[in-house]
Amino acid sequence: MQMATITVSVTTNKPFGDYSKVGQKHQNVIRLINLFTGLSSGALIGSVSVSGSTVDPVRASGTITLVSCATDTVTIGKTTFTGTGTPSTSLHFETDGTDTADAAALAAAINAHTDTSKIVTATSALGVVTVTANQAGLLGNHIALAETGTTMTISASFLAGGTGGSSATPVVVR
């Protein structure tokens, strides 16, 4: 069975926090139902835009190729990782081994980092690290990727290939 993606955007004068209270999933759904009821009856001011697709969003990705990596750096978003023979912080990755071992160390550092692991996931194979946005869609195309030095090569300045997944024309209810 193919899954469909439905995207609903609501514009209203009510604060977002009124509908997203932590630990109150059931109550939040009831609040949203009341919001939609109020908008559809004209009791509340706002608009609803609905779009959908059977095409799933795609995650953006990029690659970092390591060749005899030493003390070069790679930056993902705003976090910079530095190659070193003696890693001492979460921002270091070991570069004493082969290109394959160094790439595995970089991927592990990216995945273990408190902030970076929230936006991307890294895998490695044969000296190449693939960095993939955690969130599918266009947003991942805005995650910066940079390197310094001469022993690492990045695929592009930003992750690429993320698509929104929606091919339908939005339906707007006012």
Q: Average the pLDDT over each of 10-14, 35-39, 92-96, 153-157 and give the range with the smallest value.
A: 10-14
pTM: 0.66
> What's the mean per-residue pLDDT of the chain?
83
pLDDT, residue 17, reads 67
8 close to 49: Cβ distance less than 8 angstroms: yes
Domain residue ranges in the chain: 5-54, 61-154
The DSSP element (H or E) to which 110 belongs, if any, is helix 99-112
- Residue 59 burial by CB count (10 A; 0-12/13-18/19+): exposed, middle or buried? buried
Phi, psi of 17 (to 5 degrees): -60, -20
- Residue 43 burial by CB count (10 A; 0-12/13-18/19+): exposed, middle or buried? exposed
Q: Is the pLDDT of residue 136 over 80?
A: yes
